[in-house]
Structures are given as C-alpha cells and as structure tokens.
Structure 1
Amino acid sequence: MAVRDPAIDHLLELLAPLGAATARRMFGGWGVYLDGEIVVLFARGVAYAKTDALTRADFAAAGSAPFVFESRGRTVETSYWSLPEAALDSSEALRPWAQLALAAARRKPVARKARSGEDRRG
C-alpha cells in the first residue's frame, strides 16, 4: 500500500463538503479530484488549482504562481496555479478557490480521438 502525504489527506478533508473528493498519484505528485474532475495538482509540497482564461486573473491577484516544469530544455507553464496559503486553513476558505478550479476543469474541452482512417487535415 502506497503511503499518502498527510497534505493530501488534509486537502481531501477540506474538499469533502464540496463533493466527492479523491486523490491519485501522478507524475511524482498527486492529482486531487472533485466530483471526478481534477481540480488540484499537488507537487513539490505545493497545491496548485486548475485555472483557465476566465479564472487565472483571480489567482494572479491573490499572489499565486503557475506550476512550471522543465521539458527538453525549455520551461513549460501549466494551467495549474498555486492556492493562496490561507485557502488551506479551512473548507470555507478553500471553497471559492475550489469552485473556480472546478468550473475551469468543467469548461476544458474534451479531446476527441481521431477515428482510424479519418482525415486529420483542417
């Protein structure tokens, strides 16, 4: 049985009043899901919430920063931004940030796989 980071248990506890909260290991960190949608990426000891063009400014205004990683010699910025530290104090404090992340996750278009033989040109 894999040992789970206590911070993940804390996040799940804080998210529980908002819906079905679960966590899965991914990329050396954790994906935290709310009602089946990934809303938080927990990596390097930091919780990053899902953002999009409609919510990113809210996170930036709160002093958050994006999750970045190096790939093939370049820095890649993701759509996950750090949660404000105070958001992890209580379910009530996390609620608005979790709702923004859930809304962003639900707005993300689902990638459609090309069928065999389908013309992939525009």
Structure 2
Amino acid sequence: MAVDPGLLEHARDLFAGLGPITTKRLFGGTALYIDDAMFAALLGDGIYMKAAGALVEDYRAAGSEAFSYDTKTGPRVIPGLTSLPDSALEDPDEALTWARRSLEIARAAAERRRAKKR
C-alpha cells in the first residue's frame, strides 16, 4: 500500500526544521530519515515516531499509541513506533519538538548499528 503523497508532503512540512529528509520503503509505508537515522514512518494514514525508553511513556502521556497491525495470530504491536500526538499534527512547532526527541533516539540506534558493523 503506497503512502498518500499528501501525507508525505504534510510530514515533510512538519519536520522541515530538522534538515533534508530522505525516504525509504518500510512495511508498505515510508520511513523518514535524517542522514542514516530513521526518526519517523508514514504507515497507513498515520505518522509514527521512533521512540524508546522514557520517550515511549512521554508519547503515551500525550495520547499517542504504538503502531500495530493484524496478523493471523492476532495483533502485532511495534512499541518503537508511536503515533505523533494529535495536537502536533497541525502544529509544526510541537511536531518539531517531538521529532527532535525521536531523532535523538534514532541517531543513537544508527550509531549502535554502525558500531556493530565495525
């Protein structure tokens, strides 16, 4: 399932303050990257942010939910991808604040991958 071009454009606008965003395919959606760090994903009609540790709880406290999809054996939940809070969907300043926090997590994960390859 392809991502709606309007959603991609909206996400690029929300996160423009991070710098040049590149994209790759992910789970039938689109992953958003700064350099080699995937900080967000567009899946279905939602924007999901990279999260780990305390940031997951901060997203949940703001009303976000983990990405999930149905399988033959039941729902599969991906806690490391959490929806962008509704309040940030139309507020670029708030969206950018969340994105910067997710980018920190994403950069740390990218660094761990690079270190593992060495």
Q: Which TM-score bucket, shorter chain as reference?
A: 0.7 to 0.9
* Cα distance change, pair 59–105 in 1 and its aligned pair in 2 (3 A): same
Please, what TM-score do these two structures have when normalized by structure 2?
A: 0.81
2:111 maps to 1:93? no
Q: What is the DSSP-based 3-state SS (H/G/I as helix, E as strand, rest coil) of the residue aligned with 1:110?
A: helix
What stretches of structure 1 of length at least 5 have no aligned partner? Answer: 114-122
Please, what TM-score do these two structures have when normalized by structure 1?
A: 0.79
Would you say the 8 A contact 1:12–1:22 is kept in 2?
no
Give the superposition deviation at 1:74: 4.2
Q: How does 1:29-68 map to 2 (within 5 A)?
A: 29-68=29-68
- CA-to-partner distance for each residue in 1:62-93, whole Å, 9 max, x for gaps? 01100012446243221100001121213212
The aligned residue for residue 118 of structure 1 is none
> Max radius of gyration: which structure?
1
% same residue: 29
2:107 maps to 1:106? yes
User: Quick one: distance in 2 between partners of 1:105 and 1:71?
Assistant: 27
Higher relative contact order (CA 8 A, sep 6+): 2
User: Quick one: distance in 2 between partners of 1:38 and 1:65?
Assistant: 18
The aligned residue for residue 21 of structure 2 is 21
Q: What is the DSSP-based 3-state SS (H/G/I as helix, E as strand, rest coil) of the residue aligned with 1:8?
A: helix
Would you say the 8 A contact 2:3–2:44 is kept in 1?
no
User: Quick one: distance in 1 between partners of 2:48 and 2:87?
Assistant: 13
Would you say the 8 A contact 1:50–1:102 is kept in 2?
yes
Q: Aligned pair count?
A: 113
Give the superposition deviation at 1:3: 8.3
Would you say the 8 A contact 2:63–2:85 is kept in 1?
yes
Q: Which consecutive aligned stretches of 4+ in structure 1 deviate over 6 angstroms post-superposition?
A: none
Deviates most, 59-68 or 30-39: 30-39
What stretches of structure 2 of length at least 5 have no aligned partner? Answer: none
The aligned residue for residue 81 of structure 1 is 82
* Cα distance change, pair 19–63 in 1 and its aligned pair in 2 (3 A): same
